[in-house]
A and B are shown apart, each in its own frame.
Chain A
Amino acid sequence: MTTDVRKQSAGRTKGAHSFRKFQQASILILLVALCVVASFRSSTFLTWTNIVDNLFTNAAAIGIVALGMTFIMIGGGFDLSVASTIVVCSVVLVMSMDWLSPQGAAVAIPVALLLTVLVGVILGAINGTLIAYIGVNPFVVTLCTMLIFRGIAQILTGGGQTQQVHDILLRRRFDWFYDAGLPLWGGVGIPMPILIFLVVFAVGIYLLRFTRFGHYVYAIGGNEEAAWLAGVNTHRIKALTYVLCGFTCAIAAVIFVAKTETAGAESHMGKELVVIASVIVGGTPLGGGSGGLTATVIGLLLLRVIDNLLTQFNIGPEYRPVVTGLIILVVVTVDVLAKRRGST
């Protein structure tokens, strides 16, 4: 369907639209170019360990949240509270599992997972209700819930103590969500986080591209008032994007807990910015209406590869925020400039 859209509209689309495609293509090209440079300059870049373990596996959890965030941002919204939501979810996950450990892994793990997902969904629903049904500005709402959710995590952990499942066997069992994987040839395999990411990605693509919900999300980002007057239940759809994002936060929490075996109220500081940055660099505009999940994945990978390159070249972590900030700034500035040229 997409190719046929491009063909038919290519002659008629105006600057801004063709530019959007150009931008997405150029970021992909930049990504490939960086990878090529990296593989020439560094012997370890193009190794399975570096690509799969360092690049993808580390990015998988954040990537899942970025997928949820993409829904929100295509619908014209915004969510600053994702990192705090992850923290609450992981604290709930660890504490409930610890509490249930006498019941055995067969009970403790599923119930804890269910509880975690429920918490993620509820936190998303709180954001969604305030933003979509009551109409408070998403920036304000999620700035407040960012503080509140982290505060809740601190209260739950009795002042920010790092939580751990005391039952070592149960802890090892739960690590399955990070350590397991799909074995391929020659002793290598696809790690669990990537598998989970791929599943979420597939479901996300289906939701966004092939269902009424997805169409509505784009329509709301395109012109919310018009969609409302066309009989779309815009409140519900908008609220659902936040619920969806809360759900992805819960999944990310599962992966993080499986990786670190702990949960702390002070972890994941600033992750919301990485998530938002991936979505923006990928090409989903603030204000919504266009963009997509693939774009977000490319944006995330670009940020990861740059990060990875900085490590490979032994550039200190103190430079990373500057580099990341500059990249986002360049992408957004170029976007604004090109749009201005397209409109005159």
Chain B
Amino acid sequence: MLSSDDLILQMQGIVKEFSGTRALDKVNFDVRCGEVHALIGENGAGKSTLMNVLAGRFHDYQGLITFEGQQVRITNPRQARDMGIAVIYQELSVLGNFTVAENIMFGDEKSGRWTRKLNRAFINAGARDIIDYLRFDLNPERKVNRLSKARQCLVEIACAVRRKVKLLVFDEPTASLGSEDVDKLFEVIKDLRSRGLAIVYISHRLAELPIIADRVTVLRDGRKMGTKNIGECQISDLTRMMLGHDLVEVFPEKTNKPGNVILKVNGLSRPGLFENISFELREGEILGIAGLVGSGRTEIVRAIFGADKARGTVVFQGKPVVDRSPYLCCSLGIGMVPENRKQHGSITGRPVSENLNISILGRLSGVFGFQSSRRLTRQAKLIIEQMKIDPPLPHTDIENLSGGNQQKVIVGRWLAAESKVIIFDEPTQGIDVGTKSQMYRLIMDLARQGRAIILISSELIEITKLADRILVIRDGRLVSQMHGAETDEDSLFAECVRKDNPE
């Protein structure tokens, strides 16, 4: 064990609330110099919130932070940066139109005394020093938007190192990288660790932890479940800590029975994103689609729903659906619960009743398109009751609902529309365990009623527990089909990340 002197960061009793809901509940967390500390938990467990506290994104958190032995209150991002804390987010924040060198030296440029002309030689030389020091394979004069995502990540790391970073946080860096790039990134992280940097590594991919992490802290529903040395624990222990002990109870019994084919997808392709995807979907079936973020799974279902244009055919109830658009699919009886609830799901600033009824307003309107508000309310109340949406107020703004309840409203939209095929893209992202299990039961109920379900999830356990069949998507191709009942999480994960050409 290392002594506590090496602790670079200590966070004690961190509490952060978002309009009444506790995102973090008295969390303790510490990091030592020269270690990789993994922070894991489900979506919405509070990992990112904790790191956002550290990065100075909030000024109204409670609790103590000690950095390099000094008690600090981090209230803005600039302060965090000046202290030597850097976060590399999944969505990189490089400046695409700038060169690698300009990005690395950004904010530290020198210009001529009278002419105010940028001193390019200085920028390039400075960047070259950093790149050489880190032994990165980067050309300082290349435009960043012409680099791969993995290289762009290196640019961000170099930028942080130039700012004398002491603590580097990676927020799910591997979620959008291919497996080769992941290996390279791990080499870089290990190298940074050997240089004495403290590293926090956020992930929900448990399988990569033994390769990269020294210690691991598990968060669940904003609480810390424990910290362990990676050598002393099994992945299955971590899974239990992440999900809670009532793992089995969360999932309903499988009661659905697949019937006739309702949807047929044939040779669906979108260049660069996915290729030649073909499968069938039956009434009453839950079809899981597994794959890493960025594997093309979301793009595939969006193409089926007509949100993006793609080649290939979709046959619904025996009839080909040409010129697909969400508008057409919705009127045929296909619905989709999109991945990003805030951006693509809730119609912000509008009441719950409108959000619930938006897809069926045509059916609800009378002569001259008259929209009876009483009929809207009555219909909304029906769904609210069925979905147990809380608070049960049809006229309240959807933004006043918790994430889980907002998700119920969006699912409720397709219940109201009586869709025959419902696509769920990450339906449980960022919602609490209680609502999750309600969501699982609802999905199972829908399937039992004979509706066909397509379920995408990064929580592979959801797919293995709910789905009848599982399609594995890797790098935009359908690589294998598995049976839900015969598959466990680990083998499904292995299938998702397997390399095509083993060396």
B344 engages A9 (CB within 8 Å) = no
Stretch at the interface among B120-128, B132-140, B358-366: B358-366
* A108 in contact (CB, < 8 A): no
Q: In the complex the two chains form, what is the Cα distance from A67 to B418 in whole Å?
A: 36
* B369 in contact (CB, < 8 A): yes
User: Which residues does chain B contribute within 8 Å of A206, judged by CB atoms?
Assistant: 368
A9 engages B397 (CB within 8 Å) = yes
Find residues 209-228 in chain A having any chain B CB closer than 8 Å to their own CB.
Answer: 210-216, 218-219, 221-223, 225-228
The number of chain B residues touching the other chain, given as a range, is 35 or more
Q: In the complex the two chains form, what is the Cα distance from A290 to B397 in whole Å?
A: 12
- Interface centre among A17, A211, A215, by most chain B C-beta atoms within 10 angstroms, is A215
* B393 in contact (CB, < 8 A): yes
A12 engages B358 (CB within 8 Å) = no
Q: In the complex the two chains form, what is the Cα distance from A228 to B326 in whole Å?
A: 7
Given A8-B395, A9-B400, A211-B371, does the pair A229, B350 have CB atoms closer than 8 Å? Answer: no
Contact for B395 among A5, A221, A231, A233, CB less than 8 A: A5
* B70 in contact (CB, < 8 A): no
Given A9-B396, A216-B361, does the pair A231, B326 have CB atoms closer than 8 Å? Answer: yes
- Interface centre among A8, A223, A229, by most chain B C-beta atoms within 10 angstroms, is A229
* B346 in contact (CB, < 8 A): yes
Given A5-B395, A12-B400, does the pair A219, B347 have CB atoms closer than 8 Å? Answer: yes
A213 engages B397 (CB within 8 Å) = no
Chain A window 267-293, contacts with chain B (Cβ cutoff 8 Å), 1 for yes, 0 for no: 000000000000000000000011000
- Interface centre among B307, B343, B395, by most chain A C-beta atoms within 10 angstroms, is B395
* B345 in contact (CB, < 8 A): yes
B350 engages A14 (CB within 8 Å) = no
User: Which residues does chain B contribute within 8 Å of A228, judged by CB atoms?
Assistant: 307, 326-327
CB distance from A24 to the nearest CB of B (A): 15
Given A211-B365, A212-B365, does the pair A227, B371 have CB atoms closer than 8 Å? Answer: no
A229 engages B348 (CB within 8 Å) = no
B400 engages A13 (CB within 8 Å) = yes
Interface size on A, residues (CB 8 A): 33
User: Which residues does chain B contribute within 8 Å of A226, judged by CB atoms?
Assistant: 338, 343-348
* A337 in contact (CB, < 8 A): no
B397 engages A232 (CB within 8 Å) = no
User: Which residues does chain B contribute within 8 Å of A216, judged by CB atoms?
Assistant: 358, 361
* B255 in contact (CB, < 8 A): no
Interchain pairs with CB closer than 8 A, number: 111
Find residues 367-400 in chain B having any chain A CB closer than 8 Å to their own CB.
Answer: 368-371, 373, 391, 393, 395-397, 399-400
CB distance from A227 to the nearest CB of B (A): 6
User: Which residues does chain B contribute within 8 Å of A232, judged by CB atoms?
Assistant: 326-327, 358-359
CB distance from A19 to the nearest CB of B (A): 13
User: Which residues does chain A contribute within 8 Å of B359, judged by CB atoms?
Assistant: 230-232
Q: In the complex the two chains form, what is the Cα distance from A17 to B369 in whole Å?
A: 28
A14 engages B19 (CB within 8 Å) = yes
User: Which residues does chain A contribute within 8 Å of B305, judged by CB atoms?
Assistant: 229
A222 engages B368 (CB within 8 Å) = no
A14 engages B400 (CB within 8 Å) = yes
| CB nearest neighbor in B for A207 | B369
User: Which residues does chain A contribute within 8 Å of B216, judged by CB atoms?
Assistant: none
* B336 in contact (CB, < 8 A): yes
Q: In the complex the two chains form, what is the Cα distance from A153 to B450 in whole Å?
A: 61
User: Which residues does chain B contribute within 8 Å of A9, judged by CB atoms?
Assistant: 351, 393, 395-397, 400
CB distance from A235 to the nearest CB of B (A): 9
Q: In the complex the two chains form, what is the Cα distance from A132 to B390 in whole Å?
A: 36
A219 engages B19 (CB within 8 Å) = no
* A182 in contact (CB, < 8 A): no
Given A211-B365, A211-B371, A232-B358, does the pair A225, B397 have CB atoms closer than 8 Å? Answer: no
CB distance from A75 to the nearest CB of B (A): 12
User: Which residues does chain B contribute within 8 Å of A222, judged by CB atoms?
Assistant: 347-350
Q: In the complex the two chains form, what is the Cα distance from A228 to B400 in whole Å?
A: 22
CB distance from A68 to the nearest CB of B (A): 18
Given A8-B393, A13-B400, does the pair A215, B358 have CB atoms closer than 8 Å? Answer: yes
Q: In the complex the two chains form, what is the Cα distance from A170 to B335 in whole Å?
A: 58
Q: In the complex the two chains form, what is the Cα distance from A5 to B374 in whole Å?
A: 12
| CB nearest neighbor in B for A231 | B330
CB distance from A136 to the nearest CB of B (A): 18
CB distance from A12 to the nearest CB of B (A): 5
User: Which residues does chain B contribute within 8 Å of A229, judged by CB atoms?
Assistant: 305, 307, 326, 336, 338, 344-345
User: Which residues does chain B contribute within 8 Å of A318, judged by CB atoms?
Assistant: none
User: Which residues does chain A contribute within 8 Å of B358, judged by CB atoms?
Assistant: 215-216, 219, 227, 230-232
Q: In the complex the two chains form, what is the Cα distance from A215 to B400 in whole Å?
A: 20
* A134 in contact (CB, < 8 A): no
Q: In the complex the two chains form, what is the Cα distance from A152 to B307 in whole Å?
A: 38
CB distance from B197 to the nearest CB of A (A): 33
* A1 in contact (CB, < 8 A): yes
* B285 in contact (CB, < 8 A): no
Q: In the complex the two chains form, what is the Cα distance from A216 to B371 in whole Å?
A: 12
Q: In the complex the two chains form, what is the Cα distance from A225 to B340 in whole Å?
A: 11
B413 engages A225 (CB within 8 Å) = no
Q: In the complex the two chains form, what is the Cα distance from A222 to B365 in whole Å?
A: 21
Q: In the complex the two chains form, what is the Cα distance from A218 to B347 in whole Å?
A: 9
Q: In the complex the two chains form, what is the Cα distance from A229 to B325 in whole Å?
A: 9
User: Which residues does chain A contribute within 8 Å of B348, judged by CB atoms?
Assistant: 222-223, 226, 289
Q: In the complex the two chains form, what is the Cα distance from A8 to B384 in whole Å?
A: 16
Given A5-B395, A215-B358, does the pair A230, B330 have CB atoms closer than 8 Å? Answer: yes
A230 engages B371 (CB within 8 Å) = no
A residues with a Cβ closer than 8 A to B are: 1, 4-5, 8-9, 12-14, 17, 206, 210-216, 218-219, 221-223, 225-233, 289-290
Given contacts A211-B370, A229-B326, 17 further A-B contacts (CB under 8 A): A5-B395, A9-B395, A9-B397, A12-B397, A13-B396, A212-B365, A215-B371, A222-B349, A225-B343, A225-B344, A226-B343, A226-B345, A226-B347, A228-B326, A231-B329, A231-B330, A289-B350
**Closest 10 interchain pairs by CB?**
A231-B330, A211-B369, A212-B361, A233-B327, A222-B347, A1-B373, A5-B395, A231-B359, A289-B349, A222-B349
7 contacts between A and B (CB under 8 A): A5-B395, A212-B369, A213-B369, A215-B358, A215-B371, A229-B338, A233-B325
